[in-house]
Structure 1
Amino acid sequence: MFTNNKRQEERTGKYGTPRLQYLQDLVTQFQSDSTNEESKERLAANLANFAYDPYNYAFLRQLNVLELFLDCITEPNEKIVEFGIGGICNSCADPENAAVVARCDGIPLVVQCLSSPVRNTVNYAIVALYFLCNESNKGEILKPEVVDVIQRYAAAGEVSVSFSNLAQAFLDKHVSVDK
């Protein structure tokens, strides 16, 4: 459920931690737990869950969480990669967040996730690219090799309906003979 200021006040209570501070605490823990993989996975998942709610978008930008998600994509741990691209996916419906990801050279990182062995990572990457693709960066996203991969996912309905549906939605919006 999406949050607003009134709902946030009700949930936090008089002595609760304000959302910005709570998110800052998660970021600080993530950065300080650099050797504990299980803790990093839990914290990345938690941050990615906050990224779906528009109420948190400004906080995520203020705390550089989008950049943290991009860093997660470069980790060797597939779970952290999954949660990083999940956070990107969840937040990129907002054009300001998508612009941050593009400015931080995140598009190649998102494209790399299309070849992940983890299904969720691939799904998140397709959706993130759906939202990231616009006039200013479509040349970077709609490269023949990227379109080819997405077309193969679209044709793989018998293997994975979710890949197929998401990929087809991407193709329908961004790739056509008329464009």
Structure 2
Amino acid sequence: MFTNEGRQIERTGKYGTPREQYLQELVTQFQMATDEESKERIVQHLANFAYDPYNYTFLRKLFLDCITEPNEKLVEFGVGGICNACVDPLNAQVIMQSGGIPLIITCLSSPVTNTVNYALASLYYLCNPTTRAKILKAEVVELITKYAEAGAVSVSFSNLAQAFLDKHVDR
């Protein structure tokens, strides 16, 4: 599942496109795309690469850029990519240094279920002694508490929000 340089060469074969080139081509396609559907498809595809640490350096900033878009699908796929990548300490650092935490927090209010789940999970992983003050603001904790209490409406929100509160909020 996870990749290294040797495995990439083996999988690419003699005539295949190297991973770095392929990802760069996707990023370029995203930047050049003029219709929203193409952008959505490309970001969704790129988000699937975010689980593998081998790909992190190519994808870090793209996902943050996506969550500032007005298109809800781009936001969903962007925060999904962040969620997949933020467990890596270097990615977490890039997200924090790039102003990603406030952007992720805004995703908590999205009308899209997946976006909220990805944002909750991202904040769960990003919350640490350095980021606590930015993440555990009263209004954020209040919103996450509402999600935790909404088990009848959404079990996924409720469980994830409760896990966040259990781990990060002193009561």
Identity within the alignment, %:
70
Backbone CA RMSD of aligned residues: 1.2
The aligned residue for residue 169 of structure 1 is 163
TM-score by length of 1: 0.91
CA distance in 2, matches of 1:66, 1:113: 17
The aligned residue for residue 25 of structure 1 is 25
The aligned residue for residue 49 of structure 1 is 48
Equivalent runs, 1:109-124 vs 2, <5 Å: 109-124=103-118
Residue deviations 1:13-42 (CA, integer Å, cap 9, x gap): 111111111111111111111x21111001
Query: Please, which moves more after superposition, 6-15 or 139-148?
Result: 6-15
How far does residue 6 in structure 1 lie from its aligned partner after superposition?
Answer: 4.0
Poorly superposed stretches of 4+, deviation over 3 Å: 4-7
Indicate which of 133, 152, 159 corresponds to 1:139. 133
> Letter of the aligned partner of 1:21 in structure 2?
Q
The aligned residue for residue 37 of structure 2 is 38
Residue deviations 1:115-165 (CA, integer Å, cap 9, x gap): 000000000000110111111111010001001111111111111111111
- Structure 2's unaligned 5+ residue stretches are none
> 3-state SS of the aligned residue for 2:153?
coil
> Letter of the aligned partner of 2:4 in structure 1?
N
> Letter of the aligned partner of 2:110 in structure 1?
S
Indicate which of 73, 90, 96 corresponds to 1:102. 96
The aligned residue for residue 130 of structure 1 is 124
Determine if the alignment matches structure 1 residue 148 to structure 2 residue 147: no
CA distance in 1, matches of 2:82, 2:118: 8
CA distance in 2, matches of 1:6, 1:169: 38
> Letter of the aligned partner of 1:113 in structure 2?
C
The aligned residue for residue 79 of structure 1 is 73
The aligned residue for residue 89 of structure 1 is 83
CA distance in 2, matches of 1:176, 1:88: 26
> Letter of the aligned partner of 2:91 in structure 1?
N
How far does residue 66 in structure 1 lie from its aligned partner after superposition?
Answer: 2.1
CA distance in 1, matches of 2:167, 2:12: 40
- Structure 1's unaligned 5+ residue stretches are none
> Letter of the aligned partner of 1:30 in structure 2?
F
> Letter of the aligned partner of 2:119 in structure 1?
A
> 3-state SS of the aligned residue for 2:108?
helix
